Amino acid sequence: MTSQRLTGQWGVLGSLLIDAPHVAGMVFHGTREEDFTGELKTVYQAARRLFLAGRPIDAVTVGAQLGPEYSQTLIQLMDYTSTAANVEEYINLTVEEARKARVQSLALSMQQAAGLEDCQAILAEMGQVLASRSDVRRMTLEEGFRDFYDRQVKEPNLIPWGFESLDEVCRVELGGDFFILGGYPSAGKTALSLQLAWNQAKDYRVGYFSLETKPEKIIDRLVAAVCDVDFSRIKGHTLTDEDWDACGALSDRFVGRKMEVIQAGGLSVTDIRSMSLAGRYDVIYVDYLQLIAPDDRKRSAVEQISQISMDLHTMAQITGITVVALSQLARPARDGKQEKAPGLHSLRQSGQIEQDADGVLLLYKEEPDNPRSRRCLKVAKNKEGEAGGILYLVLDGAHQRFRPSSATRPAPASRTPNPQTTLYELPANTPLPF
Protein backbone atom coordinates (compact mmCIF):
# COMPACT_ATOMS: atom_id res chain seq x y z
CA MET A 1 0.00 0.00 0.00
CA THR A 2 2.66 2.51 0.89
CA SER A 3 4.22 2.24 -2.55
CA GLN A 4 0.94 3.08 -4.29
CA ARG A 5 0.23 6.59 -5.53
CA LEU A 6 -2.11 8.55 -3.25
CA THR A 7 -5.43 9.18 -4.99
CA GLY A 8 -8.83 10.62 -4.20
CA GLN A 9 -9.91 7.12 -3.17
CA TRP A 10 -7.54 7.31 -0.21
CA GLY A 11 -8.97 10.63 0.91
CA VAL A 12 -12.58 9.45 0.62
CA LEU A 13 -12.06 6.23 2.57
CA GLY A 14 -9.78 7.88 5.13
CA SER A 15 -12.40 10.59 5.76
CA LEU A 16 -15.05 7.91 6.11
CA LEU A 17 -13.04 6.03 8.73
CA ILE A 18 -12.23 9.08 10.86
CA ASP A 19 -15.53 11.00 10.65
CA ALA A 20 -18.28 8.74 9.28
CA PRO A 21 -21.19 10.42 11.16
CA HIS A 22 -20.62 13.65 9.21
CA VAL A 23 -19.40 12.43 5.81
CA ALA A 24 -20.93 8.98 5.18
CA GLY A 25 -24.05 10.37 3.52
CA MET A 26 -22.03 12.53 1.15
CA VAL A 27 -19.63 9.68 0.33
CA PHE A 28 -22.27 7.09 -0.53
CA HIS A 29 -24.42 9.60 -2.39
CA GLY A 30 -21.55 10.98 -4.47
CA THR A 31 -19.64 7.78 -5.31
CA ARG A 32 -20.23 4.24 -6.53
CA GLU A 33 -18.20 1.12 -6.00
CA GLU A 34 -17.10 1.31 -9.66
CA ASP A 35 -15.15 4.45 -8.69
CA PHE A 36 -12.80 2.38 -6.50
CA THR A 37 -10.15 -0.18 -7.38
CA GLY A 38 -8.39 -3.14 -5.80
CA GLU A 39 -8.54 -3.56 -2.04
CA LEU A 40 -9.88 -0.01 -1.66
CA LYS A 41 -13.00 -1.19 -3.48
CA THR A 42 -13.35 -3.99 -0.93
CA VAL A 43 -13.04 -1.47 1.94
CA TYR A 44 -15.69 0.72 0.30
CA GLN A 45 -18.09 -2.22 -0.09
CA ALA A 46 -17.70 -3.21 3.56
CA ALA A 47 -18.30 0.36 4.76
CA ARG A 48 -21.36 0.70 2.55
CA ARG A 49 -22.87 -2.49 3.96
CA LEU A 50 -22.50 -1.04 7.45
CA PHE A 51 -24.06 2.26 6.32
CA LEU A 52 -27.09 0.57 4.77
CA ALA A 53 -27.55 -1.50 7.93
CA GLY A 54 -27.50 1.65 10.07
CA ARG A 55 -24.40 0.52 11.95
CA PRO A 56 -21.40 2.71 12.90
CA ILE A 57 -18.46 2.96 10.52
CA ASP A 58 -14.87 3.10 11.78
CA ALA A 59 -11.65 1.10 11.51
CA VAL A 60 -12.85 -1.45 14.09
CA THR A 61 -16.27 -2.17 12.52
CA VAL A 62 -14.92 -2.23 8.96
CA GLY A 63 -12.00 -4.39 10.10
CA ALA A 64 -14.43 -6.85 11.66
CA GLN A 65 -16.11 -7.17 8.25
CA LEU A 66 -12.87 -7.69 6.33
CA GLY A 67 -10.61 -9.63 8.67
CA PRO A 68 -7.13 -9.01 10.16
CA GLU A 69 -5.40 -8.96 6.77
CA TYR A 70 -6.90 -5.49 6.18
CA SER A 71 -5.78 -3.98 9.49
CA GLN A 72 -2.67 -2.32 8.02
CA THR A 73 -4.64 -0.95 5.08
CA LEU A 74 -7.19 0.70 7.38
CA ILE A 75 -4.44 2.20 9.54
CA GLN A 76 -2.69 3.63 6.49
CA LEU A 77 -5.92 5.13 5.16
CA MET A 78 -6.41 7.05 8.40
CA ASP A 79 -2.72 8.02 8.66
CA TYR A 80 -2.66 9.54 5.18
CA THR A 81 -5.92 11.48 5.67
CA SER A 82 -5.26 14.24 8.17
CA THR A 83 -8.79 15.67 8.08
CA ALA A 84 -12.26 14.88 6.73
CA ALA A 85 -12.94 18.56 6.06
CA ASN A 86 -11.92 18.17 2.40
CA VAL A 87 -14.09 15.13 1.70
CA GLU A 88 -16.09 16.87 -1.06
CA GLU A 89 -12.87 17.54 -2.97
CA TYR A 90 -11.77 13.93 -2.40
CA ILE A 91 -15.10 12.72 -3.80
CA ASN A 92 -14.71 14.92 -6.89
CA LEU A 93 -11.16 13.64 -7.42
CA THR A 94 -12.28 10.02 -7.06
CA VAL A 95 -15.09 10.38 -9.59
CA GLU A 96 -12.81 12.25 -12.00
CA GLU A 97 -10.08 9.61 -11.67
CA ALA A 98 -12.61 6.83 -12.33
CA ARG A 99 -13.91 8.56 -15.46
CA LYS A 100 -10.38 9.13 -16.70
CA ALA A 101 -9.51 5.46 -16.19
CA ARG A 102 -12.66 4.43 -18.09
CA VAL A 103 -11.79 6.73 -21.01
CA GLN A 104 -8.23 5.35 -21.12
CA SER A 105 -9.59 1.81 -21.16
CA LEU A 106 -11.94 2.68 -24.01
CA ALA A 107 -9.03 4.27 -25.90
CA LEU A 108 -7.11 0.99 -25.66
CA SER A 109 -10.18 -0.88 -26.88
CA MET A 110 -10.37 1.42 -29.90
CA GLN A 111 -6.81 0.48 -30.89
CA GLN A 112 -7.94 -3.13 -31.05
CA ALA A 113 -11.27 -2.44 -32.78
CA ALA A 114 -12.00 -4.62 -35.81
CA GLY A 115 -13.66 -1.92 -37.88
CA LEU A 116 -15.01 1.61 -38.13
CA GLU A 117 -18.41 0.62 -36.74
CA ASP A 118 -16.78 -0.67 -33.55
CA CYS A 119 -14.80 2.56 -33.27
CA GLN A 120 -17.98 4.60 -33.56
CA ALA A 121 -19.63 2.58 -30.77
CA ILE A 122 -16.59 3.07 -28.54
CA LEU A 123 -16.53 6.80 -29.30
CA ALA A 124 -20.22 7.09 -28.37
CA GLU A 125 -19.57 5.34 -25.04
CA MET A 126 -16.54 7.55 -24.45
CA GLY A 127 -18.68 10.64 -25.06
CA GLN A 128 -21.20 9.46 -22.51
CA VAL A 129 -18.47 8.94 -19.92
CA LEU A 130 -17.01 12.40 -20.56
CA ALA A 131 -20.42 14.08 -20.35
CA SER A 132 -21.76 12.12 -17.42
CA ARG A 133 -22.33 13.34 -13.88
CA SER A 134 -23.25 11.14 -10.94
CA ASP A 135 -26.29 13.28 -10.13
CA VAL A 136 -27.80 13.34 -13.65
CA ARG A 137 -30.29 10.69 -14.76
CA ARG A 138 -31.06 9.74 -18.35
CA MET A 139 -34.19 7.92 -19.43
CA THR A 140 -35.29 7.02 -22.94
CA LEU A 141 -38.99 7.29 -23.76
CA GLU A 142 -39.18 3.50 -24.00
CA GLU A 143 -37.63 3.11 -20.55
CA GLY A 144 -39.89 5.83 -19.20
CA PHE A 145 -43.03 4.16 -20.56
CA ARG A 146 -42.07 0.79 -19.04
CA ASP A 147 -41.33 2.56 -15.76
CA PHE A 148 -44.76 4.24 -15.98
CA TYR A 149 -46.44 0.84 -16.01
CA ASP A 150 -44.35 -0.40 -13.08
CA ARG A 151 -45.19 2.69 -11.01
CA GLN A 152 -48.89 2.61 -11.75
CA VAL A 153 -49.41 -0.93 -10.44
CA LYS A 154 -47.94 0.05 -7.07
CA GLU A 155 -49.57 2.06 -4.30
CA PRO A 156 -48.22 5.64 -4.29
CA ASN A 157 -45.76 6.33 -1.48
CA LEU A 158 -47.43 9.51 -0.22
CA ILE A 159 -46.12 11.50 2.72
CA PRO A 160 -49.06 12.54 4.93
CA TRP A 161 -49.57 16.03 6.31
CA GLY A 162 -51.94 14.83 9.04
CA PHE A 163 -55.00 16.79 7.87
CA GLU A 164 -57.20 14.71 5.60
CA SER A 165 -58.34 17.47 3.27
CA LEU A 166 -54.78 18.80 2.90
CA ASP A 167 -53.55 15.29 2.09
CA GLU A 168 -56.13 15.07 -0.68
CA VAL A 169 -55.05 18.37 -2.26
CA CYS A 170 -51.27 18.41 -1.63
CA ARG A 171 -50.27 14.89 -2.60
CA VAL A 172 -46.57 14.66 -1.85
CA GLU A 173 -44.95 11.46 -3.09
CA LEU A 174 -41.65 10.45 -1.53
CA GLY A 175 -38.84 11.41 -3.86
CA GLY A 176 -37.66 14.97 -3.43
CA ASP A 177 -40.19 17.81 -3.47
CA PHE A 178 -39.43 21.27 -2.09
CA PHE A 179 -42.21 22.85 -0.01
CA ILE A 180 -42.43 26.21 1.72
CA LEU A 181 -44.45 26.86 4.88
CA GLY A 182 -44.67 30.65 5.14
CA GLY A 183 -46.16 32.78 7.86
CA TYR A 184 -46.07 36.04 9.76
CA PRO A 185 -44.34 36.13 13.17
CA SER A 186 -46.42 34.46 15.92
CA ALA A 187 -48.77 32.83 13.42
CA GLY A 188 -47.70 29.40 14.67
CA LYS A 189 -45.34 28.20 11.89
CA THR A 190 -43.07 26.26 14.23
CA ALA A 191 -45.95 24.62 16.11
CA LEU A 192 -47.63 23.58 12.86
CA SER A 193 -44.39 22.31 11.31
CA LEU A 194 -43.71 20.18 14.42
CA GLN A 195 -47.22 18.75 14.19
CA LEU A 196 -46.69 17.85 10.53
CA ALA A 197 -43.23 16.42 11.19
CA TRP A 198 -44.46 14.35 14.15
CA ASN A 199 -47.20 12.82 12.03
CA GLN A 200 -44.80 11.96 9.18
CA ALA A 201 -42.22 10.48 11.57
CA LYS A 202 -44.52 7.56 12.30
CA ASP A 203 -43.53 5.95 8.99
CA TYR A 204 -40.65 8.07 7.64
CA ARG A 205 -37.28 9.27 8.92
CA VAL A 206 -37.64 12.99 9.64
CA GLY A 207 -34.91 15.51 10.47
CA TYR A 208 -35.99 18.80 12.05
CA PHE A 209 -33.29 21.47 11.60
CA SER A 210 -33.92 24.27 14.08
CA LEU A 211 -31.83 27.37 13.36
CA GLU A 212 -33.16 29.58 16.15
CA THR A 213 -34.51 27.27 18.86
CA LYS A 214 -32.60 24.78 21.01
CA PRO A 215 -33.60 21.10 20.67
CA GLU A 216 -34.69 21.06 24.32
CA LYS A 217 -37.30 23.73 23.63
CA ILE A 218 -38.53 21.82 20.60
CA ILE A 219 -38.95 18.73 22.76
CA ASP A 220 -40.88 20.84 25.34
CA ARG A 221 -43.35 21.83 22.62
CA LEU A 222 -43.78 18.23 21.51
CA VAL A 223 -44.36 17.03 25.07
CA ALA A 224 -47.07 19.67 25.52
CA ALA A 225 -48.79 18.61 22.31
CA VAL A 226 -48.40 14.84 22.60
CA CYS A 227 -48.97 14.43 26.35
CA ASP A 228 -51.68 17.13 26.64
CA VAL A 229 -49.69 19.12 29.21
CA ASP A 230 -50.02 22.90 29.56
CA PHE A 231 -47.02 24.51 27.88
CA SER A 232 -46.82 27.34 30.42
CA ARG A 233 -46.30 24.80 33.23
CA ILE A 234 -43.58 23.12 31.21
CA LYS A 235 -41.80 26.45 30.73
CA GLY A 236 -42.18 27.29 34.42
CA HIS A 237 -41.10 23.84 35.63
CA THR A 238 -44.33 23.62 37.64
CA LEU A 239 -45.76 20.33 36.40
CA THR A 240 -48.47 18.82 38.60
CA ASP A 241 -48.75 15.18 39.61
CA GLU A 242 -51.43 14.81 36.95
CA ASP A 243 -49.03 16.22 34.36
CA TRP A 244 -46.33 13.73 35.34
CA ASP A 245 -48.86 10.90 35.19
CA ALA A 246 -49.87 12.02 31.68
CA CYS A 247 -46.23 12.13 30.55
CA GLY A 248 -45.63 8.66 31.94
CA ALA A 249 -48.78 7.19 30.43
CA LEU A 250 -47.97 8.51 26.96
CA SER A 251 -44.19 8.17 27.00
CA ASP A 252 -44.37 5.17 24.67
CA ARG A 253 -45.43 7.54 21.86
CA PHE A 254 -41.89 8.90 21.78
CA VAL A 255 -40.29 5.45 21.60
CA GLY A 256 -39.55 4.46 18.03
CA ARG A 257 -40.80 7.73 16.54
CA LYS A 258 -38.36 8.30 13.67
CA MET A 259 -37.65 11.98 14.22
CA GLU A 260 -34.43 13.78 15.15
CA VAL A 261 -34.04 17.43 16.15
CA ILE A 262 -30.82 19.12 15.01
CA GLN A 263 -29.51 22.39 16.45
CA ALA A 264 -28.69 24.03 13.13
CA GLY A 265 -27.67 27.61 13.91
CA GLY A 266 -24.97 28.73 11.47
CA LEU A 267 -25.40 25.78 9.10
CA SER A 268 -25.31 26.25 5.33
CA VAL A 269 -27.30 24.28 2.76
CA THR A 270 -24.19 22.16 2.17
CA ASP A 271 -24.06 21.33 5.88
CA ILE A 272 -27.77 20.49 5.95
CA ARG A 273 -27.42 18.26 2.89
CA SER A 274 -24.47 16.38 4.39
CA MET A 275 -26.24 15.81 7.71
CA SER A 276 -29.48 14.80 5.97
CA LEU A 277 -27.72 12.18 3.89
CA ALA A 278 -25.82 10.90 6.91
CA GLY A 279 -29.10 10.67 8.85
CA ARG A 280 -30.82 8.94 5.91
CA TYR A 281 -33.81 11.24 6.32
CA ASP A 282 -36.81 10.90 4.02
CA VAL A 283 -38.15 14.34 5.00
CA ILE A 284 -36.46 17.35 6.55
CA TYR A 285 -37.86 20.56 8.03
CA VAL A 286 -35.76 23.74 8.13
CA ASP A 287 -36.85 26.41 10.63
CA TYR A 288 -36.33 28.77 8.95
CA LEU A 289 -34.99 29.57 5.44
CA GLN A 290 -33.86 33.15 6.09
CA LEU A 291 -31.54 31.97 8.89
CA ILE A 292 -29.52 29.52 6.77
CA ALA A 293 -25.90 30.64 6.47
CA PRO A 294 -25.09 31.85 2.93
CA ASP A 295 -22.04 30.56 1.09
CA ASP A 296 -21.17 34.07 -0.09
CA ARG A 297 -21.71 36.80 2.50
CA LYS A 298 -20.62 39.52 0.09
CA ARG A 299 -23.85 39.25 -1.88
CA SER A 300 -26.97 41.26 -1.07
CA ALA A 301 -29.60 39.73 1.19
CA VAL A 302 -31.90 39.12 -1.78
CA GLU A 303 -29.14 37.35 -3.72
CA GLN A 304 -28.23 35.24 -0.69
CA ILE A 305 -31.82 34.10 -0.09
CA SER A 306 -32.29 33.40 -3.80
CA GLN A 307 -29.21 31.17 -3.84
CA ILE A 308 -30.28 29.37 -0.65
CA SER A 309 -33.71 28.70 -2.17
CA MET A 310 -32.18 27.33 -5.39
CA ASP A 311 -29.75 25.17 -3.40
CA LEU A 312 -32.56 23.67 -1.29
CA HIS A 313 -34.55 22.93 -4.45
CA THR A 314 -31.51 21.28 -6.05
CA MET A 315 -30.82 19.32 -2.88
CA ALA A 316 -34.36 17.90 -2.90
CA GLN A 317 -34.10 16.92 -6.56
CA ILE A 318 -30.68 15.30 -6.36
CA THR A 319 -31.01 13.49 -3.02
CA GLY A 320 -34.68 12.51 -3.19
CA ILE A 321 -35.25 14.02 0.26
CA THR A 322 -38.49 15.98 0.69
CA VAL A 323 -37.55 19.44 1.98
CA VAL A 324 -40.02 21.63 3.89
CA ALA A 325 -38.54 25.04 4.66
CA LEU A 326 -40.26 27.57 6.88
CA SER A 327 -40.15 31.15 5.64
CA GLN A 328 -40.96 34.58 6.97
CA LEU A 329 -43.50 36.68 5.10
CA ALA A 330 -43.11 40.34 4.25
CA ARG A 331 -45.24 42.88 6.12
CA PRO A 332 -48.91 42.51 5.11
CA ALA A 333 -50.18 44.88 2.46
CA ARG A 334 -53.27 47.03 3.08
CA ASP A 335 -56.10 48.06 0.81
CA GLY A 336 -57.30 51.19 2.56
CA LYS A 337 -57.98 50.07 6.13
CA GLN A 338 -58.29 46.42 5.20
CA GLU A 339 -55.32 44.07 5.44
CA LYS A 340 -54.84 41.85 2.41
CA ALA A 341 -54.38 38.14 2.83
CA PRO A 342 -50.82 37.03 1.93
CA GLY A 343 -49.92 35.48 -1.41
CA LEU A 344 -46.83 34.17 -3.16
CA HIS A 345 -45.59 37.74 -3.47
CA SER A 346 -45.43 37.90 0.33
CA LEU A 347 -42.47 35.49 0.63
CA ARG A 348 -39.79 37.58 2.24
CA GLN A 349 -36.67 38.87 0.48
CA SER A 350 -36.83 36.85 -2.72
CA GLY A 351 -39.19 36.08 -5.57
CA GLN A 352 -36.94 33.12 -6.32
CA ILE A 353 -38.55 31.13 -3.50
CA GLU A 354 -41.96 31.00 -5.19
CA GLN A 355 -40.30 29.86 -8.44
CA ASP A 356 -38.29 27.06 -6.82
CA ALA A 357 -40.99 25.61 -4.56
CA ASP A 358 -43.15 22.70 -5.69
CA GLY A 359 -45.73 23.80 -3.16
CA VAL A 360 -46.30 26.79 -0.87
CA LEU A 361 -48.49 26.80 2.25
CA LEU A 362 -49.19 30.16 3.91
CA LEU A 363 -50.29 30.39 7.55
CA TYR A 364 -51.90 33.57 8.85
CA LYS A 365 -54.61 34.87 11.19
CA GLU A 366 -58.10 35.20 9.82
CA GLU A 367 -58.53 38.29 12.03
CA PRO A 368 -55.10 39.96 12.24
CA ASP A 369 -55.79 41.96 15.41
CA ASN A 370 -57.37 39.10 17.33
CA PRO A 371 -54.78 36.87 19.10
CA ARG A 372 -57.42 34.10 19.41
CA SER A 373 -58.31 34.24 15.74
CA ARG A 374 -58.62 31.12 13.65
CA ARG A 375 -55.64 30.45 11.42
CA CYS A 376 -55.90 30.16 7.68
CA LEU A 377 -53.64 27.62 5.96
CA LYS A 378 -53.70 28.65 2.33
CA VAL A 379 -52.45 26.43 -0.50
CA ALA A 380 -50.80 29.23 -2.45
CA LYS A 381 -48.92 27.00 -4.90
CA ASN A 382 -49.36 23.34 -5.76
CA LYS A 383 -47.61 21.94 -8.82
CA GLU A 384 -49.33 18.57 -8.45
CA GLY A 385 -52.89 19.73 -7.86
CA GLU A 386 -55.33 22.50 -7.03
CA ALA A 387 -54.12 25.72 -5.44
CA GLY A 388 -55.98 28.58 -3.80
CA GLY A 389 -57.90 26.67 -1.17
CA ILE A 390 -57.84 27.37 2.56
CA LEU A 391 -57.95 25.03 5.54
CA TYR A 392 -59.22 26.81 8.65
CA LEU A 393 -57.44 25.81 11.85
CA VAL A 394 -57.79 26.56 15.55
CA LEU A 395 -54.56 27.00 17.50
CA ASP A 396 -54.54 25.47 20.97
CA GLY A 397 -51.69 27.60 22.28
CA ALA A 398 -51.71 25.97 25.72
CA HIS A 399 -50.79 22.65 24.10
CA GLN A 400 -48.94 23.90 21.00
CA ARG A 401 -51.13 22.15 18.45
CA PHE A 402 -53.72 22.81 15.78
CA ARG A 403 -57.07 21.24 15.05
CA PRO A 404 -59.36 21.77 12.07
CA SER A 405 -62.12 24.31 12.59
CA SER A 406 -65.64 22.84 12.52
CA ALA A 407 -67.40 26.14 11.84
CA THR A 408 -67.51 28.12 8.62
CA ARG A 409 -68.03 31.82 8.31
CA PRO A 410 -67.09 34.47 5.76
CA ALA A 411 -63.80 36.30 6.01
CA PRO A 412 -63.99 39.26 8.42
CA ALA A 413 -63.99 42.86 7.30
CA SER A 414 -60.31 43.22 8.24
CA ARG A 415 -59.41 40.94 5.34
CA THR A 416 -59.94 41.49 1.66
CA PRO A 417 -62.00 38.44 0.59
CA ASN A 418 -60.88 36.26 -2.31
CA PRO A 419 -63.89 35.16 -4.37
CA GLN A 420 -61.90 32.24 -5.84
CA THR A 421 -60.99 30.76 -2.47
CA THR A 422 -62.18 27.24 -1.81
CA LEU A 423 -62.90 26.26 1.80
CA TYR A 424 -61.62 22.90 2.98
CA GLU A 425 -63.57 21.77 6.05
CA LEU A 426 -63.15 18.70 8.25
CA PRO A 427 -65.76 17.22 10.60
CA ALA A 428 -65.55 18.42 14.20
CA ASN A 429 -64.76 14.89 15.43
CA THR A 430 -61.71 14.50 13.20
CA PRO A 431 -58.93 12.98 15.37
CA LEU A 432 -55.85 15.05 16.08
CA PRO A 433 -52.58 13.99 14.43
CA PHE A 434 -51.01 13.61 17.90
The CATH number of whichever domain residue 40 belongs to comes to 1.10.860.10
In a domain, 144, yes or no: no
**What is the predicted pLDDT for the residue at 137?**
62
- Judge if 192 and 318 occupy the same domain: yes
- Structural domain including 408 reads 158-424
Chain centroid, CA 26 distance in Å: 14
The helix/strand/coil state of 26 is: helix
- Judge if 116 and 175 occupy the same domain: no
- Judge if 118 and 48 occupy the same domain: yes
- Judge if 125 and 183 occupy the same domain: no
**What is the predicted pLDDT for the residue at 413?**
43
- Judge if 196 and 256 occupy the same domain: yes
**What is the predicted pLDDT for the residue at 350?**
64
Give mean pLDDT in consecutive 10-residue pieces for the chain, a chain of 434 residues: 67 92 86 89 92 88 92 90 88 87 81 78 67 60 79 81 84 85 87 92 92 90 90 92 90 88 87 84 91 84 88 88 90 68 77 85 86 88 83 88 68 44 41 50
- Judge if 43 and 170 occupy the same domain: no
- Judge if 346 and 399 occupy the same domain: yes
- Judge if 98 and 199 occupy the same domain: no
DSSP 258-291: -EEEEE-TT--HHHHHHHHHHHT-SEEEEE-GGG
Q: What is the pTM of this model?
A: 0.71
The helix/strand/coil state of 380 is: strand
In a domain, 295, yes or no: yes
The total domain count for the chain is: 2
**What is the predicted pLDDT for the residue at 429?**
42
- Judge if 124 and 192 occupy the same domain: no
- Judge if 93 and 184 occupy the same domain: no
**What is the predicted pLDDT for the residue at 337?**
63
> Which of the listed residues 81, 96, 131 is the one where a domain comes to its end?
131
**What is the predicted pLDDT for the residue at 129?**
61
- Judge if 79 and 183 occupy the same domain: no
- Judge if 193 and 322 occupy the same domain: yes
Give CA separation, 74 vs 11, 239, 296, in Å.
Answer: 12, 52, 37
**What's 205's domain CATH number?**
3.40.50.300
In a domain, 153, yes or no: no
In a domain, 2, yes or no: no
- C-alpha closest to that of 163 among 418, 350, 361: 361
